[in-house]
Amino acid sequence: MLIRIHLASLRGLRITSFDQVSVGRAGQRVGDIVFQRPEPSQRRELYVHASAADMAGAAHAIQLALDPDRGANGWIAQDGPEHPLLA
């Protein structure tokens, strides 16, 4: 299952619902993976659309929105600048 969503629409979602999270531009078919569970099954993927201006802090913004307690293992990019969409 693949779910596509805009970066600004992440509120209310949780990382426990997804096996893999990637981020990229809206027109791209493949994005950069920012979260991947260590287990081999990858059935629930979240693809987050971000504008070119938002890409620099997108991985950190996604982590803050989906895993605010930072309790999930599997984050590939965990640190970065605060993102204005989540302020």
Tell me, what's the pLDDT at 77? 57
Q: Which of 34, 32, 31, 1 is nearest to 15 (CA)?
A: 34
H or E element that contains 46: strand 45-49
* Type of residue numbered 64: L
For residues 57 and 42, give the distance between their C-alpha atoms in angstroms, rounded to a whole number: 25
Which residues in the chain land under pLDDT 70?
Answer: 42, 77-87
H or E element that contains 45: strand 45-49
Residue 85 covered by a domain: no
pTM (two decimals): 0.80
Residue 41 covered by a domain: yes
Total number of domains in the chain: 1
Which residues span the domain enclosing 57? 2-79
Residue 53 covered by a domain: yes
Tell me, what's the pLDDT at 83? 46
Tell me, what's the pLDDT at 15? 94
